[in-house]
Amino acid sequence: MALTTAPDPTRRGPGSNRAHASRRGPGHLRHSEGLAGYVFLSPWLIGLMGVTAIPMLLSLYLSFTNYDILTPFSEARWVGLANYERMFTADPSYWHAVRVTLTFALIAVPLKLVAALGVALLLNRAWRGIGLFRGLFYLPSLLGGSVALAIVWVNMFNRDGAFNSLLSLVGIQGEPWVNDPDWALETLMVLAVWQFGAPMVIFLAGLKQVPTELYEAASVDGAGRFRQFRNVTLPMLSPVIFFNLVLETINGFQGFTAAFVLSNGTGGPVDSTLMYTLNLYITGFTDLEMGYASAMAWVFLLAIAVLTAIFFSTGRFWVHYSDGEDR
Amino acid sequence: MVAVTPTAGVPTGPTPTARRRPGGRPLLRLLILAAIVAVVLYPLIWMVGTSLKSQEEIVNNVGLLPRRFTPGNYTAGWSNFDVSFGRFFLNSAMVSLLTVVGNGLSCLLAAYAFARLRFRLRGVWFAVMIGTLLLPQHVLIVPQYILFRTLGLVGGEWPYLPLLIPQFLATEAFFVFLMVQFMRGVPRELDEAARTDGAGPFGIFRHIILPLSRPALVTTAIFSFIWTWNDFFRQLVFLSQLEDYTVPVALTLFIDSTSQSAVGPMFAMSVLSLLPVFLFFVAFQRMLVEGINTSGIKG
């Protein structure tokens, strides 16, 4: 904090006779500022190298080796593409985990977004209670990712849980959903949808930006409510829908905590909640196959990168940006 | 009551024209909203209710609330393991608070460089920073573990270093981005004025940017506290001794022993563990909701 650079070196910067110009000229690179830039950036740069870039390269190298953490790192054994080969051809549980993750994301994410948009539309009126509802609906997004709430969730869908007691009110005999391989993943999807509040808040902000004149014009043209929604709201909201879709999909692929809690870290019952990240964790930290886990991590990273690229390249066909505004 | 102010702070707030579709059906809408509130709150109320039930009632009464409120689960849960939950809470609080400090400091420095200073390769570094926004932590966990372990920091004298070092190196790109966006809104004339008074980049940071960035710092602090408090994955990987456990890791010990008798204490400790987040929510509700608005936050 006590570091101060005297203004003098500034003047000795490239071209001291242009000192006056440099005060105003925004494109001019000043020596002391360039140095200061790197001083301020240094923690981030060290982090980028030490915590992100080097580990990534290390992980890439490891993915071509067999390595358990028990021996020194130098004893990692080079195996070429064997890990990738095993993943793609000889490991059914890997493909099972891929399927579980895709199923989870393909169902939970759209449901969550539809719920978020629906509730946002309900709330999108000028009236006094909105702040209260908005806050209440947002609460699950803050709590839902925790171990504590996952514990509650698992018990809620257990044999004697709250869900079955509700079912019994209408005469249905419920089962222990979380122990049933056909239903365990579904309870996790419900948990994800329950956290619709975060995308809802973003939708609400987007809805506020839609100019009311558009609705007036549409209704003058005789458009009913549904057509107004389809032809005004949806296109105007498409950037926000796109943003939420990308974000929630990427988050959906990374679900770990709830699956871990439900299955006590095994991915059960019968691997039905073996999410990709949980499989990676088990491979790396339970089976200590760190080379294989690194290969999984790289395929995961590539898959997310490809997915993001697909989103962005298809986005231009349906995402509508209003002219002249860079929102 | 609670700090729930109706959208007053939102600039494009309710204007008269906002009542565009007259009528609707206010009563119907209110009923639907009430039903959603019930669905949203039911698990939470059930959680609190169950934590206050006696062992016998947990088995026999699956209703929302206990017939008799009994605090026994809280005392039983607190000392359910060889190490008391007080220790776990202290560990969690320490990790979370140090993360807040680390994120606040390091992200502020990086953001100032990106938002205000001109230096070689700035555009490249900024693009890299944005690139790391979408980088899943699961991808890095194996090599980071190996690296920290090779350095003797995993299970070392102070086992929280692997959790905290990245936080002091601005690796949460999201907060850097949030602060950059915020600083871009600070008028550049202030920098110019300070520069005329002889202040260099450090002086401008100290006297202009730092004091004016307080709102962004507060948002960062709240979100880093909540996320770290709730975080499980990294803490699960890096903490191995019972006395070093944080609350989320300790809670999973209950799952190992899923005898019926553990349900009450498990719920009691779950409630306690969510309490800090809930209090933050009550105190900063508007700021949290608007924080996501301005920046768009991972759910």
Nearest to A132 among B4, B20, B62 (CB): B4
Q: Please give the structure tokens belonging to residue A165.
A: 């007691």
Q: Where are the alpha helices (DSSP H) in chain A?
A: 8-11, 19-24, 31-47, 54-62, 82-85, 92-123, 130-143, 147-156, 162-169, 184-194, 197-208, 212-220, 225-228, 234-253, 257-263, 276-281, 290-318
Place of tokens 């002391």: A32
Show residues of chain B in contact with A63, CB under 8 Å: none
Between chains, do A135 and B150 touch, taking CB under 8 Å as contact?
Answer: no
Flag whether pLDDT at A260 surpasses 50: yes
Place of tokens 């730092």: B210
Q: What is the mean pLDDT of residues B98-118?
A: 96
The three-class DSSP label of residue A207 is helix
CB of B285 less than 8 A from some CB of A: yes
Between chains, do B21 and A54 touch, taking CB under 8 Å as contact?
Answer: no
CB of B25 less than 8 A from some CB of A: no
The confidence band for B294, taking pLDDT boundaries of 50, 70 and 90, is: low
Flag whether pLDDT at A308 surpasses 70: yes
Could you give phi then psi for residue A78, rounded to 5 degrees?
-65, 125
Mutation for A interface: B1, B47, B61, B139, most A CBs within 10 A: B139
Q: Cβ distance A60 to A83 under 8 Å?
A: no
The confidence band for B258, taking pLDDT boundaries of 50, 70 and 90, is: low
Domain boundaries, chain A: 91-318
Class of B85-257+270-295 per CATH?
A: mainly alpha
DSSP symbol at A65 = E
% of chain B with per-residue pLDDT over 90? 67
pLDDT at B3: 33
Which residues contact residue A228 at a Cβ distance below 8 angstroms, ignoring those fewer than 6 apart?
A215, A218, A219
The confidence band for B255, taking pLDDT boundaries of 50, 70 and 90, is: confident
Rg of chain A (C-alpha set): 26
Rounded CA-CA distance B255/A198 in Å is: 29
Mutation for B interface: A30, A31, A33, A40, most B CBs within 10 A: A40
The three-class DSSP label of residue A66 is strand
Which of A24-38, A60-74, A240-254 is least confident? A24-38
Q: What is the mean pLDDT of chain B?
A: 86
What are the pLDDT digits (tens) for B150-163?
A: 999 998 889 999 99
Amino acid letter, residue B27: L
What are the pLDDT digits (tens) for B135-147?
A: 999 999 999 999 9
- C-alpha dihedral over A17, A22, A27, A31, to 10 degrees? 80
- Dihedral (CA of A62, A65, A68, A71) sign: negative
What are the pLDDT digits (tens) for B188-198?
A: 999 999 999 99
Distance of CA B230 to the CA centre of its chain: 7
Show residues of chain A in contact with B31, CB under 8 Å: none
pLDDT at A74: 81
Flag whether pLDDT at A16 surpasses 50: no
The residue of chain A with its CA nearest to that of B59 is A160
Which residues contact residue A14 at a Cβ distance below 8 angstroms, ignoring those fewer than 6 apart?
A29, A30, A31
What are the pLDDT digits (tens) for A38-83?
A: 999 999 999 999 999 999 999 999 999 999 888 888 888 999 999 9
Flag whether pLDDT at A28 surpasses 70: no
Place of tokens 């807040």: B100
Rounded CA-CA distance A202/A141 in Å is: 13
The confidence band for A322, taking pLDDT boundaries of 50, 70 and 90, is: low
Q: What is the mean pLDDT of chain A?
A: 86
pLDDT at B55: 84
Residues in chain A: 327
CB of B42 less than 8 A from some CB of A: yes
The phi-psi region of residue B121 (left if phi > 0; otherwise alpha if psi is between -120 and 50; otherwise beta) is left
What are the pLDDT digits (tens) for A218-229?
A: 988 888 888 888
Place of tokens 């499980």: B232
Q: Which residue has the higher pLDDT, A107 or B289?
A: A107
Q: Are strands A65-66 and A77-78 parallel, antiparallel or unpaired?
A: antiparallel
Show residues of chain B in contact with A134, CB under 8 Å: 7, 289
What is the nearest CA distance from A113 to chain B, expressed in angstroms? 12
Which residues contact residue B214 at a Cβ distance below 8 angstroms, ignoring those fewer than 6 apart?
none
What is the nearest CA distance from B182 to chain A, expressed in angstroms? 15
Which of A243, A212, A244 minimizes the C-alpha distance to A228?
A212
Q: Cβ distance A142 to B15 under 8 Å?
A: no
Alpha carbon distances (Å) from B175 to A41, A286, B167, B169, B223: 14, 33, 11, 12, 9
Could you give phi then psi for residue A106, rounded to 5 degrees?
-65, -30
HSE at residue B110, side-chain half, CA atoms within 13 A, is: 31
pLDDT at B4: 32
Rg of chain B (C-alpha set): 24
Flag whether pLDDT at A232 surpasses 60: yes
Alpha carbon distances (Å) from A97 to A282, A284, A285, B109: 12, 15, 17, 40
The residue of chain A with its CA nearest to that of B113 is A37
DSSP symbol at A12 = T
CATH T-level fold of A91-318: MetI-like fold (1.10.3720)
Between chains, do B136 and A135 touch, taking CB under 8 Å as contact?
Answer: no
Q: What is the mean pLDDT of residues B102-108?
A: 97
Which residues contact residue A124 at a Cβ distance below 8 angstroms, ignoring those fewer than 6 apart?
A204, A207, A208
Show residues of chain B in contact with A216, CB under 8 Å: 20
Which of B114, B179, B180 minimizes the C-alpha distance to A37?
B114
Show residues of chain A in contact with B133, CB under 8 Å: none
Could you give phi then psi for residue B274, rounded to 5 degrees?
-85, -10
Distance of CA B183 to the CA centre of its chain: 22
What are the pLDDT digits (tens) for A174-222?
A: 888 998 999 999 999 999 999 999 999 999 989 988 888 888 899 888 8
What are the pLDDT digits (tens) for A114-146?
A: 999 999 999 887 667 788 888 999 999 999 999
Between chains, do B138 and A73 touch, taking CB under 8 Å as contact?
Answer: no
What are the pLDDT digits (tens) for B216-239?
A: 999 999 999 999 999 999 999 999
Mutation for B interface: A152, A188, A200, A241, most B CBs within 10 A: A152
What are the pLDDT digits (tens) for B76-90?
A: 999 999 999 999 999
Rounded CA-CA distance A228/A95 in Å is: 44
pLDDT at B61: 77
Q: Give kind and range of the element (H or E) at residue A77.
A: strand A77-78
Which of B120, B119, B121 minimizes the C-alpha distance to B129?
B121
> Angle of helix B263-295 relative to helix B214-230, nearest 10 degrees?
150
Flag whether pLDDT at B171 surpasses 70: yes
Q: What is the mean pLDDT of residues B4-13?
A: 35
Which of A224-228, B23-27, B136-140, B208-212 is least confident? B23-27
Could you give phi then psi for residue A147, rounded to 5 degrees?
-60, -40
The phi-psi region of residue B170 (left if phi > 0; otherwise alpha if psi is between -120 and 50; otherwise beta) is left
pLDDT at B14: 41
Which residues contact residue A263 at a Cβ distance below 8 angstroms, ignoring those fewer than 6 apart?
A184, A269, A273, A274, A278
Q: Which residue has the higher pLDDT, A326 or B248?
A: B248
Show residues of chain A in contact with B204, CB under 8 Å: none
% of chain B with per-residue pLDDT over 70? 87
Domain boundaries, chain B: 85-257+270-295
DSSP symbol at B123 = H
Between chains, do B166 and A136 touch, taking CB under 8 Å as contact?
Answer: no
pLDDT at B291: 64
